[in-house]
């Protein structure tokens, strides 16, 4: 065989995921079976349906598992699914004959409560199913963010929007948190579009546990939140909030001109400081210079924003635009200054997740329907995403043992291609082993996460925090 051909084959092979078929198939089969037994099977689904009042009589035509399956495994976005479509799917897949009028009535508060309970149970099972994780300095690296999308109406104030284009437009927000170490979803909540991230922070501080590292966008950051983390013996890493006062350990205001002059002469500058005027939270300030092209982009944005509000950009603010400025209460021997930016950028994984939800699962493509029907269809879609995420997470952990990572974007793009056959597995019309060998693995085997030139994959950034 010619040398060039051998090299080409070797290159192709290097771009494939290295998997042990028997081990991976066994793990995936257990995951899918756990989902079926946990909430997709008739017995557990009907129990929850009766607890929430969705099913009250044994003679009812609509079964709990049929309702979940039909909403969860819809192949089209909510905007393209009519009541007759749902009735036809129930009849074809589950032998349930129900009119569109009767189905319309079944989308009620009890149906929403039922699916919320099912999603909650699915999340708990997702958390309990796996205990193995890399031995990092932190038990969990918790990433939280929200994504919003527009609704055709505000549903009588239940989902208020900003009203920029029309006072009748609504908006829904999905508050989502997951653990980057284990890949587990930690929380997921549908909320009013006007409920901002800072409000969420104030209402969820009780979920902070010792040892975890929290990485969040500035919209979540407040002195109350950072103080709660410190008091819980947990850790934070975020950008310095623009309104946070910064003081030396002696309590004097930080002289930014001197600090930034020092930062200009070294790659990374770090200093122990106190932040916020009243709380004086102790932490480490890390400053690193950004490339000139990034400074110019930031300056243009700052000038445009200032002009729109009728003010100018101060000299001090212009100076700060030259730098990334982070705060953290993680010790320097655990998270050195040179590794702070790489660790902070793990937060961008959640942006990729939201991109898959909107681009591949069409979660934001909605039309005006009854409020409870909209909520049920969204919850069903989130169940489907969670099931696919469990497959992604399992595969990612499997190949991590040989130093690889799965491309999130590529995997979920391929999930569209295996959606129909996975549906057949859940309906017991196709064996799990047949699906894994003939459909799933051939589609995902080349979903290798390769970083752009000069960048790191999230897997490589995660290795920074592994205990030696």
pLDDT at 382: 93
**What number is the average pLDDT over the span 372-387?**
94
For residue range 322-344, list pLDDT tens digits in order.
999 999 999 999 999 999 998 99
Q: What is the CA radius of gyration of the chain?
A: 25
Residue 358 corresponds to which tokens in the numbers above? 């909107």
- CA-based angle 182:119:153, to the nearest 5? 120
Tell me the pLDDT band of 414, cut-offs 50, 70 and 90. Answer: very high
pLDDT at 2: 43
Tell me the pLDDT band of 4, cut-offs 50, 70 and 90. Answer: very low
> Minimal CA–CA distance to 186: which of 196, 171, 176?
176
Ramachandran bin of 244, using left for φ above 0, alpha for ψ from -120 to 50, beta for the remaining angles: beta
Task: Return d(Cα 343, Cα 463) in angstroms, integer.
Answer: 10
Q: Are 274 and 282 in contact (CB under 8 A)?
A: yes
Instruction: Tell which wins on pLDDT, 118 or 38.
Output: 118
pLDDT at 254: 94
CA-CA-CA-CA torsion sign (14, 18, 21, 25): negative
pLDDT at 193: 86
**Pairing of the two strands 141-151 and 213-216:** parallel
Residues whose CB is less than 8 angstroms from the CB of residue 414 and which lie 6 or more positions away in sequence, other chains included: 443, 444, 447
| Residue written as token pair 């752009």 | 452
For residue range 59-86, list pLDDT tens digits in order.
678 999 899 999 988 778 899 999 999 9
Tell me the pLDDT band of 1, cut-offs 50, 70 and 90. Answer: very low
Residues whose CB is less than 8 angstroms from the CB of residue 187 and which lie 6 or more positions away in sequence, other chains included: 123, 144, 175, 176, 177, 204, 207
Predicted TM-score (pTM) of the model is 0.84
Taking 70 as the threshold, does the pLDDT of residue 359 lie above it?
Answer: yes
Q: What letter does residue 322 receive in the DSSP assignment?
A: T
> Minimal CA–CA distance to 72: which of 440, 383, 342?
383
Q: Are 18 and 404 in contact (CB under 8 A)?
A: yes
Task: Return d(Cα 322, Cα 290) in angstroms, integer.
Answer: 6
Taking 80 as the threshold, does the pLDDT of residue 411 lie above it?
Answer: yes
pLDDT at 59: 63
Per DSSP, what are the bridge partners of residue 141?
A: 213
The average confidence (pLDDT) of the chain is: 86
**What number is the average pLDDT over the span 139-165?**
86
Taking 90 as the threshold, does the pLDDT of residue 255 lie above it?
Answer: yes
Residue 172 class from Cβ within 10 Å (0-12 exposed, 13-18 middle, 19+ buried)?
buried
Taking 90 as the threshold, does the pLDDT of residue 134 lie above it?
Answer: no
Tell me the pLDDT band of 8, cut-offs 50, 70 and 90. Answer: very low
| Residue written as token pair 């000069």 | 454
Task: Return d(Cα 357, Cα 380) in angstroms, integer.
Answer: 13
For residue range 15-60, list pLDDT tens digits in order.
788 888 888 888 888 878 777 766 677 788 889 999 999 998 776 7
Cα distances (Å, whole numbers) of residue 365 to 66, 74, 160, 166, 357: 24, 13, 18, 18, 11
């Amino acid at each position: 065989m010619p040398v060039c051909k051998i090299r080409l084959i070797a290159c192709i092979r290097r771009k494939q995921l290295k998997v042990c078929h028997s081990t991976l198939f066994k793990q995936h089969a257990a995951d899918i079976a756990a989902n079926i037994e946990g909430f997709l099977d008739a017995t557990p689904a009907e129990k929850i349906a009766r607890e929430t009042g969705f099913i009250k009589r044994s003679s009812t035509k609509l079964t709990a598992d049929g309702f979940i399956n039909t909403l969860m495994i819809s192949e089209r976005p909510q905007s393209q699914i009519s009541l007759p479509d749902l009735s036809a799917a129930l009849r074809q897949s589950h032998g349930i004959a129900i009119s569109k009028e009767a189905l319309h009535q079944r989308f009620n508060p009890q149906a929403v409560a039922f699916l919320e309970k099912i999603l909650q149970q699915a999340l708990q099972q997702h958390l309990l199913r796996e205990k193995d994780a890399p031995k990092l300095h932190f038990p969990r690296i918790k990433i939280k963010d929200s994504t919003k999308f527009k609704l055709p109406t505000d549903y009588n104030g239940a989902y208020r929007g900003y009203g920029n284009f029309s006072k009748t437009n609504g908006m829904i927000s999905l508050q989502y948190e997951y653990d980057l170490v284990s890949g587990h979803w930690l929380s997921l909540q549908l909320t009013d579009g006007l409920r901002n991230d800072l409000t969420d922070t104030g209402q969820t501080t009780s979920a902070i546990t010792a040892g975890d590292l929290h990485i969040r966008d500035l919209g979540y950051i407040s002195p109350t939140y950072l103080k709660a983390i410190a008091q819980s013996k947990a850790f934070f890493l975020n950008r310095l909030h623009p309104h946070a006062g910064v003081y030396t350990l002696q309590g004097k205001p930080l002289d930014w001109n001197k600090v930034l002059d020092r930062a200009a002469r070294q790659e990374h500058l770090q200093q122990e400081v106190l932040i916020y005027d009243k709380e004086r939270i102790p932490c480490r300030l890390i400053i690193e210079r950004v490339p000139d092209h990034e400074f110019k982009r930031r300056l243009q944005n700052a000038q445009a924003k200032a002009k729109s509000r009728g003010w100018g950009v101060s000299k001090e603010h212009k100076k700060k635009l030259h730098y990334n400025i982070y705060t953290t209460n993680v010790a320097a021997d655990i998270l050195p200054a040179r590794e702070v930016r790489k660790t902070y950028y793990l937060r961008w994984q959640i942006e990729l997740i939201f991109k898959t939800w909107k681009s591949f699962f069409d979660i934001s493509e909605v039309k005006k329907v009854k409020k409870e029907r909209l909520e049920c269809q969204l919850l069903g879609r989130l169940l489907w995403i969670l099931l696919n995420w469990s497959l992604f997470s399992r595969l990612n952990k499997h190949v991590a043992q040989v130093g690889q990572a799965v491309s999130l974007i590529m995997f979920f793009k391929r999930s569209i291609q295996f959606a129909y056959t996975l549906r057949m597995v859940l309906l017991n019309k196709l064996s799990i082993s047949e699906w894994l060998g003939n459909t799933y693995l051939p589609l995902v085997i080349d979903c290798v996460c390769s970083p752009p030139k000069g960048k790191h994959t999230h897997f490589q950034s995660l290795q920074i925090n592994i205990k030696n």
